[in-house]
Amino acid sequence: MKFVPIHRIVTGHDASGKAVVAFSGGLSTVQEIAAVPGTVFHEVWSTAGTPVVVDNGADPTLGALTLPPPEYGTRIRFVDIPPDTPEVIEQGAARMKDAFLQLGDSGASTVEATSPHPLMHRTESVDYGIVIEGEIVLIMDDSEVLLKQGSVVVQRGTNHAWANRSGKPCRMLFVLLDGCYDPAIASALANRGAH
C-alpha cells in the first residue's frame, strides 16, 4: 500500500494584514529512517517557544530531523510505520542507536534485554498520536493496546513502542508538545534508571 503524499497549506499575512496562502504544496522534509526501513517521517511544522510568535517566518522543518519538539515548542508530523519483520524484532535493538541518532535524540531509546519490543523509547513530552490509516499496537511496559483508524493516544512521557503486526503499513499523525515531568514522576523514573 502506498500512502498519498501530504499536501501542506501554510497561511500568512501580506504587508496590509490581509490573510494569504504563503505556501501550498508538498512537504520540505520527508525522510526514511535508515535503521528501520519503511519508516518515513513527514515533517509538517514546528513552533519554538510559548506563546508562539505569529509571523511570516521561514519553514521550520528545514534542517536535520529531530524526534522531540523544540524546547517550549510543538511539532506536527506524519509517520508511516511498516509491518514488523522478524529482522526488526530480532535485530532492532542493536540498530536503535543508529535510528535515534538519525532522529537527533540518541537518549530516547530505552530498550533493554527485558524490553517487550526493540523500539521502546520515551520523550519528555505530551504527544497526541492519531491513527490515520491501518492499525498499530501500542506497547507499554506492562500492557498492549490495539489501535485502529480513528484511535487517538495521549502519550504522557511514557515508555512505549509501536508494533505493526497487521502485515500492512500504518500512517499516524503526531502532535508533540514539549513537557517537563512532574517531580514525583521524575523521581520515580530516576529510581528506575529512567526505563
- The pLDDT of residue 26 is 97
Placement of cell 492499525 in the chain: 135
ω into residue 86 within 30 of 0, thus cis? no
CB atoms within 10 A of CB 20: 10
Buried b (16+ CB within 10 A) or exposed e, 42-65: bbbebbbeeeeeeeeeebbbeeeb
User: What is the spatial distance between Cα 156 and Cα 123, in angstroms, rounded to a whole number?
Assistant: 9
Alpha helices in 8-161 (DSSP H): 86-102
Domain architecture of the chain: domains with CATH? 8-13+29-191 (2.60.120.10)
- When pLDDT is averaged across residues 118-135 and rounded to a whole number, the result is 94
More confident residue, 109 or 120: 120
Question: In DSSP terms, which residues pair with 154 in a beta bridge?
Answer: 128
Identify the CA nearest to 161 among candidates 178, 141, 133: 141
Summarised one tens digit per residue, pLDDT across range 53-62 is: 999 999 999 9
- The pLDDT of residue 2 is 86
- When pLDDT is averaged across residues 18-29 and rounded to a whole number, the result is 97
For residue 6, is pLDDT > 90?
yes
Give me the amino acid identity at 78: F
- When pLDDT is averaged across residues 54-80 and rounded to a whole number, the result is 95
